[in-house]
Amino acid sequence: MVYISEKQRASAQASLGVGMLVNELAKKASVTADTVRFYTRIGLLNPVKNPDNGYKEYSVKEYKRLTFILAARHIGFTVEDVTQILSEADDEKSPCCTARRLIEQRLEESEARIKEMLLLRQRMKSALEQWSTQPDQLPSSPTVCHLIENFTEPTNDEVLL
């Protein structure tokens, strides 16, 4: 019989993708251990507790599930979206229709945020332009900063995105 150390066993298991500990899974997936713990805490990853030492161990299936979660998050799905998609898949239903519907919603939300950010950018540019010719002034009651208090928003005709 060949005896190997606990470290050698863990290394061999990690290379095979079975019984990975939090840090091993995190390293393999190129994320932090806290990321693995977060997805475990909210129930998206389901490790098995090793009866010998009480450590949570992650299988290849959990690794693949984590890489799916990361890919979905990278595309723009929320954690709630991913939970819904995985739930449908776990129930052996096709989550594709849900994925299409949810990503369409996320795209609409992103486009609205982009529009808001472009308007904010224009306000900032207008402020800089207006303020470039105005002198600095000390605060005086009731004025704190005359630049901000006298700022006038550009009209729709002046807005150039």
For the chain, what are the domain ranges?
A: 1-75, 87-153
Q: Is 116 helix (H, G, I), strand (E, B) or coil?
A: helix
The predicted-structure confidence for 5-37, as pLDDT tens digits, reads as follows 556 555 555 455 458 999 999 999 999 999 999
Is the pTM higher than 0.85? The answer reads no
Sign of the Cα torsion 74, 79, 81, 85 reads: positive
Whole-number pLDDT of residue 62? 96
Whole-number pLDDT of residue 36? 98
Tokens (6 digits) for 158? 């002046």
- What confidence tier does 155 reach under pLDDT thresholds 50, 70, 90? confident
Task: Give me the architecture of the 1-75 domain, per CATH.
Answer: Orthogonal Bundle (1.10)
Mean of pLDDT over the chain? 89
Residues whose CB falls within 8 Å of the CB of residue 107, separated by 6 or more in sequence, listed in order: 76
Given a cut of 80, whether residue 114 has pLDDT beyond it is: yes
